[in-house]
Amino acid sequence: MPGEPQDDCLFCKIVAGQIPATIVRETDTTVAFRDINPQAPTHILVIPKVHYENAAALAAEAPQAAADVLRETQVIADEEKLEAYRTVFNTGAGVGQTVWHAHAHILGGRGMQWPPG
């Protein structure tokens, strides 16, 4: 059921404290932690504490939670002193989503190309 923790979800287990993560920030509605396979010098994931499969479902069914995730990307970028950064939401396996819990990637600390590949 959308919004409910999923027993088989890696990120739900991080929210519950069942799996360790390097937490950089936590609010009432979000958790942010360092990616275990960073693609940039700074690579932080921001997730809603509620479970939605992807960013599209989160935005459609829990717009306030989606806004909280997006707001936190800016707060974290400021805390990390990133002058420029990229925020990425992958929605679907075809574009690289591998964990089926909505999440934003904050990537920074190096130059990036456009279009992303």
Residues with active-site annotation: 103
Name the CA radius of gyration of the chain, rounded: 13
Tokens 């800016």 identify what position? 74
Angle made by CA atoms 92, 95, 99, in degrees to the nearest 5: 50
In one-letter notation, the amino acid at residue 25 is R
What span, in angstroms and rounded, lies between the C-alpha atoms of 71 and 36? 23
Structure tokens at 94: 């075809």
